Amino acid sequence: MNTPHTGDQRNGRPPPPADQATVGTVEHSLCGAGGLVLTVGLLALTYPALLYVTRPLTVLASTAVVVIATTVWLLTWLGLELLWEWQTGRLGADT
């Protein structure tokens, strides 16, 4: 027989207070889309230099461009998420 607990079963922490807003799907989607727009703009500006740097890889040059673009997108997405959390005051709420 299972006994119910009042905390979060995944990590043992209590649930957030009712007045504290949590991160939602819309926020994640907006940050991801914003990161994608910023990444496309950055890659449009630096594409010739990126091709010049990856040219010595010959066959793997296109793979390197995709890996670099994906990494830049994910890091931009993470940066926007952290910026949003910092602006809303939720970044240090778990302390």
Q: Which two tokens stand for residue 62?
A: 């296109």
Confidence (pTM): 0.71
Do the Cβ atoms of 75 and 38 come closer than 8 Å? no
State the chain's mean pLDDT as an integer: 83
* 83 token code pair: 């910026």
Closest-CA residue to 69 (of 45, 42, 48, 49): 42
Range 7-13 average pLDDT: 59
Tell me the C-alpha distance between 19 and 36, whole Å.
Answer: 32
- Give the rounded percent of residues in the chain with a pLDDT score beyond 90: 58
pLDDT digits 0-9 by tens, 48-75 = 999 999 999 999 999 999 999 999 999 9
Inform me whether the pLDDT recorded for 8 exceeds 60.
no
